[in-house]
Amino acid sequence: MKLRLLTYHLTLLCTAWLLLSACHDDTAGPATPVVGPNTYVRMQVQVASGRKQRATAAEEGLPRENSISQITIILFKGAEGGINAANADKVTVRAFCWDVQPLGATTYTTGSRLLPANMEYGTYNVLVVANANYAALDGHTLAEVRTQIYNGTPWANNIYADQSTAWPERQSDFVMTSAANAQIIVGTGSTHAGTANDAFTTTSGQPIDLDRLAARIDFVPDAAYLKTAADGTIYYEYPVTDADGSATSSKFRLKFVEPYNITQQSTLFEQSMAADATTQAPTGGVIYLGGESTESGTPRYVADPLTLHKGNPATTADAYNAFYVPLNRYNALPQNGAQLRTIYPVRQGNHANPDDPANPYYIVAYTAENTLSVALQQSNDVRTYATGLRFFGTYLPNGEESKAYDRAYDFDIRHRSSDTATNPNLALPLAYGIVRNNIYRVRITSIRRTPDNFNITLQIRVVPWQRYEHGDIIM
The CATH number for 74's domain is: 2.60.40
Same domain as 268, residue 196: no
Give the domain-ending residue among 168, 187, 212: 212
3-state class (DSSP) for residue 427: coil
The answer to whether residues 208 and 75 touch, using CB atoms and an 8 Å cutoff, is no
Residue 154 domain flag: yes
Is 116 inside any structural domain?
Answer: yes
Q: Residue 22, SS3?
A: coil
- Distance CA(410)–CA(421), nearest Å, equals 18
Q: Are residues 350 and 253 in the same domain?
A: yes
**For residue 33, what pLDDT is reported?**
42
Same domain for 244 and 348? Answer: yes
Residues 207 and 202: their CA atoms lie apart, in Å, by 8
User: Do residues 202 and 283 both lie within one domain?
Assistant: no
Residues in CB range of 163: below 8 A, 6 or more apart: none
Q: What pLDDT was estimated at residue 320?
A: 80
- Distance, CA of 337 to CA of 346 (rounded, Å): 15
Q: Is residue 17 part of a domain?
A: no
Do 148 and 226 reside in the same domain of the chain?
no
pLDDT at 295: 62
| Per-position DSSP letters for 394-419, written without gaps between them | EEEGGG-GGG-EEEEEEEEPB-S--S
**155 and 241 inside one domain:** no
CB-based contact 322:265 (threshold 8 Å):
yes
Q: Which of 161, 194, 212 is the last residue of a domain?
A: 212
| 224 neighbors 237 (Cβ within 8 angstroms) | no
What is the model's pLDDT at position 282? 74
Element (H, E) at 2: none
Query: How much is the pLDDT for 342?
Result: 65
- The answer to whether 251 and 398 are in contact (CB under 8 A) is no
Nearest alpha carbon to residue 77 among 180, 178, 185, 177: 185
Asked if 144 contacts 134 with a C-beta cutoff of 8 angstroms, the reply is no
156 & 274 share domain: no
**Residue 421 covered by a domain:** yes
323 in the same domain as 193: no
161 and 92 together in one domain: yes
Name the domain count of the chain.
2
* Residue 290 covered by a domain: yes
Residue 225 belongs to some domain of the structure: yes
Residue 198's pLDDT is 66
Same domain, 183 and 89: yes
Domain that holds residue 195: 40-212
188 and 235, same structural domain? no
Give a yes or no: residue 45 inside a domain: yes
Q: Please give the average pLDDT of every successive group of 10 residues along the chain, which has 475 residues.
A: 30 37 52 62 80 53 92 90 83 97 92 86 92 98 95 79 65 93 76 60 85 94 96 95 91 92 93 79 80 70 89 82 70 45 84 90 94 90 90 92 90 75 74 91 89 74 49 32
The reported pLDDT for the residue numbered 269 is: 95
Domain boundary among 190, 212, 234: 212
The pLDDT, as a whole number, for residue 466 is 39
Q: Is residue 1 part of a domain?
A: no
Check whether residue 279 and residue 208 sit in a common domain: no
